[in-house]
Structure 1
Amino acid sequence: MEGSSNKDEMLCGICTIHRSKYCCPRCGILYCSLLCYQSDKHLECSESFYEDCVNEELSSYHAGDEAKRRMIDILKRVQNDVDEEDVDIEESIDSDDDIPIDLHERLKNLDLNNAEVLWNALTEDEKNEFEAVVRGNVGSVLPQWEPWWMYNKDGKLVEEVESSEMDEHLKKCPCIKSVPKFNTLTNVKPSPAISFNITNVLASYAFVMRYFNGEIDAVVAVTHILDICQNLSSSTNFDDLVTSVESVAQKCLQSELIETDETSLEVMKHDTFLMLKGPSRDNNAYYCKSALSHLIEIFNEAKSNLKTTTKEDIPKPKGTFCKKFPENMNYLPKLDLSEVKKNVKKLEFYLSFIESNDNC
């Protein structure tokens, strides 16, 4: 500025004490440290700068870029946590010490669509924090999915929804598919085990829907369902309700694909109960039929994907980030197309049985 000395021009424009080291890319002010950059005097600018970076990335999000969106969301949370720690550290050291350039600056000119580039921009502490969030507490970063089976007209403790909204709520459930009449499929009286077998399927579906927070990839979902549903994977028959649900819990604990805990398994058991209970006493089979219909849709989509996808179509992971957090399905056991087709028929059989008996 005209009339100012070189010394004054190099001072931090926020604390006006220490020599400046950086320049804010948004407002152009010179600053000396992260503490000054994030001070109350500059807070509005620093927060809006990072928010703009994140919003710009999210605006370019499209189907198939799930890992990118999640990484941006989680990076924001990581930075908030790191910022709080940095403030405490900087209060105890001289601001002229060598301080790493903050995440805002490191991300400024990077391609936010390139997960590998973003990963390499993180410090070791930030990478560790990112991994801890993704593998251990991703639910704290992403909004929790609300299952459609939570509403019950008669159970006021489940969800506070007026009974007059019943029809509106049922529109949120998966559409019930049309299947052949049960008596056209078989002349043999079904075993009493069929109801418990259906319960085993419903419990597996409930767990997988929660596990992926309601965002389902057909092949991945079918792979996980077959991993924990003994009735679909090995035609196991069950003699009672408790065993059919507990089987899913035990398979989840034994699975190499799934990381879970007792709390999540209790949620799965409660979800299964709510599905069997249905939206009301006079329509108790509705959720069972919706769940089976959704499963038929998922299995059919997986079947179509398996027919059109070959190993050559699936890219090999390149770089550290892609190996740690693979977007492809190389880590999954290979699905047997004939098994998927067989289970589509079994699910249709179960849905037809419920339609004919109108109960689970």
Structure 2
Amino acid sequence: MEESLGNKDERLCGICTTNRSKYCCPRCEIFYCSLDCYKSEKHLDCSESFYRDCVNEELSSYHAGDEAKRKMIDILKKVQNKDVDEEESETEESIDSDDDIEIDLHERIKDLDLNNADALWNALTEDEKNEFEAVVRGDVGSVLPQWKPWWMYNKEAKLVEEVSSSEVDEHLKKCPCLKSVPKFNTLTNVKPSPAISFNITNVLASYAFIMRYFNGEIDTIEAVTHILDVCQNLSSNTNFDELDTAVESVTQKCLQSELIETDEVSLEVMKHDTFLILKGPSADNNAYYCKAALSHLIDIFNQAKSQLKTSTKENVSKSEGTFSKKFPENMDYLPKLDVNKVKRNIKKLEFYLSFIVSNDNC
């Protein structure tokens, strides 16, 4: 392993042929030095397929219900009419023509199975396909609805409260369900280190970042892989003695990660999200968001564990249509997950949740 890393360090970037390579493309195996080179025209065919994978995965995850169809229609309309606002001087005839196109699009896809990406792709015109590909090469987030985290709500304390107020209770129904865990004193007789609260903060900050990074829609194995990539406490049992260093650790790991592309603004949002989770929905229930986040993480890790076990037994080949060939699914860029490490972290997360429940604070 050390020899292969040494050979990689000695290679020049295969794209700019100037700088020393730092990375290797998992698809075409070309060595490159930076994100700019990865996205350059010389590497365009390969890099584009990565973004197309994301869209393919998104399409394949939909269930063919009325709500899913409505969202897909909205997305395609936005793709089709993204320049309408810039053309305020359009004639009445052009506007009528656009209306006819929207109706035609709705009719073409209304009876399709949205689990079948190839059927949806074949229903589009050539112009619509070109527009769709242009969005994939650009900013997919501009046409997808923005996820709103459940931890954004907080009820400020007031001197006089209405007895009938149920605002907080209604919001808590939108949070992940709390897991039932053993009492803390049944798990250990040893007094926990003061570091446990800061270690939990490191986990919560990682969770907050990853949930926003995937816009609230996560694949469990992908989510666990990314969480372990940025959370030092779960990945390497690192202990923290301050809240600031626990959060800053996530910031630095995100910036250093080869799996994640982020910026300072997103990392500032992560810090604010962590603060909101620690603050909780109300002054008299400030630990609820911590418990909800850890409960969700336990579910995510449990699902990843089950998926890892299943994937080792099943290897089903699927026939590929036009869309599947054009935007092939590929998760090979992710490092392999160790199922035993996932199991150990499930136990750790349950330990942290039990600590919070027993102490009723973060």
TM interval, shorter chain, is: 0.5 to 0.7
Q: Does 1:149 align with 2:154?
A: no
How far 1:164 sits from its partner (Å)? Answer: 3.6
Are 1:283 and 2:285 counterparts? yes
Q: How does 1:220-235 map to 2 (within 5 A)?
A: 220-235=222-237
**What is the deviation of 1:234?**
1.1
> In structure 2, what is the Cα distance between the partners aligned to 1:180 and 1:289?
14
- Tell me the CA shift for residue 350 of structure 1: 0.4
User: What does the per-residue CA deviation read over 1:24-72, in whole Å, with 9 as the maximum and x for residues that have no partner?
Assistant: xxxxxxxxxxxxxxxxxxxxxxxxxxxxxxxxxx9xx5179x9999876
Cα distance in structure 1, aligned partners of 2:72 and 2:126 = 12
Shift of 1:315: 5.0
Q: Deviations over 1:161-216 (max 9, x none)?
A: x9641122222222221111112211222121111110011011111111222223
**Cα 1:253–1:109, aligned 2, differ >3 Å: closer, same or farther?**
same
Residue 332 of structure 1 deviates from its aligned partner by 2.3
Q: Contact between 2:79 and 2:143, CA under 8 Å: does it hold in 1?
A: no
Q: Is the 8 A contact 1:68 1:115 kept in 2?
A: no
Cα deviations by residue, 1:115-168 (Å, 9 ceiling, x for unpaired)? 4576685458625522244xx351x32222222211212279xxxxx9641122
Q: Which runs of 5+ in 1 are unaligned?
A: 1-57, 91-101, 157-161
In structure 2, what is the equivalent of residue 30 of structure 1?
none
1:262 corresponds to which residue?
264
**Structure 1 residues 105 and 195, CA gap change in structure 2 (3 angstroms):** same
Would you say 1:126 and 2:127 are equivalent positions?
A: no
TM-score (norm 1): 0.66
Match of 2:176 among 174, 195, 215: 174
The 3-state SS of whatever aligns with 2:217 is coil
Q: Which amino acid aligns with 1:227?
A: D
Distance 1:222-1:324 versus aligned 2 partners, 3 A rule: farther
Q: C-alpha distance in 2, partners of 1:63/1:227?
A: 34
Q: Which amino acid aligns with 1:230?
A: Q
Name the residue aligned to 2:204: 202
Percent identity of paired positions between Structure 1 and Structure 2:
73
Give CA deviations for 1:257-297 in whole Å, capped at 9, x if unaligned. 22222222111111100110111222111111111111111
Partner Cα distance (1:254, 1:320) in 2: 37
Q: Is the 8 A contact 1:71 1:115 kept in 2?
A: no
Cα distance in 1 for partners of 2:87, 2:308 equals: 49
**Matching residue of 1:251:** 253
Q: Any idea what SS the aligned residue of 1:81 has?
A: coil
Q: Measure how far apart 1:241 and its partner are.
A: 0.9
Provide closer, same or farther for how the CA distance between residues 290 and 85 of structure 1 changes in structure 2, counting only shifts above 3 A. Answer: closer
Q: 1:192 to 1:109 in 2, by over 3 A?
A: closer
Alignment of 1:4-15 (within 5 A): none
TM-score, normalised with respect to structure 2 = 0.66
Answer yes or no: is the 8 Å Cα contact 2:211–2:217 preserved in 1. yes
| 2:56 counterpart of 1:62 | no
Larger mean CA deviation between 338-347 and 144-153 belongs to: 144-153
* Number of the residue aligned with 2:81: 80
Cα distance in structure 2, aligned partners of 1:310 and 1:165: 46
Question: How many pairs were matched up?
Answer: 284
Query: Which amino acid in structure 1 is aligned with residue 219 of structure 2?
Result: D
The structure whose Rg is larger is 1
Cα gap change, 1:166 to 1:69, in 2 (>3 Å): closer
Match of 2:310 among 302, 308, 313: 308
CA displacement 1:81-101 (0-9 Å, x = unmatched):
2567899999xxxxxxxxxxx
Match of residue 344, structure 2, among 335, 342, 351: 342
Give how far 1:230 is off. Answer: 1.1
Structure 2 runs not aligned, ≥5 long: 1-58, 92-100, 159-163
Distance 1:85 1:234, change over 3 A: same
Separation in 1, partners of 2:182, 2:229: 28
Shift of 1:313: 2.6
Counterpart amino acid of residue 289 in structure 2: Y
Distance 1:323 1:311 in 2: 25
Letter of the 2:134 partner, please give it. Answer: E
> Is the Cα contact below 8 Å between 2:157 and 2:283 reproduced in 1?
no
Residue 342 of structure 1 and its aligned partner are, at CA, apart by: 0.4
CA contact (8 A) 2:220 2:304 kept: yes
**Residue in structure 2 matched with residue 98 of structure 1 by the alignment:** none
* Counterparts of 1:205 and 1:274, CA distance in 2: 13
Contact in 1 for aligned 2:211/2:218 (Cα 8 Å): yes
Counterpart CA distance in 2 for 1:311 and 1:86 is 55
CA contact (8 A) 2:230 2:250 kept: yes
* 3-state SS of paired residue (1:252): helix
Provide the C-alpha distance between the structure 2 equivalents of 1:320 and 1:254, rounded to a whole number of angstroms: 37
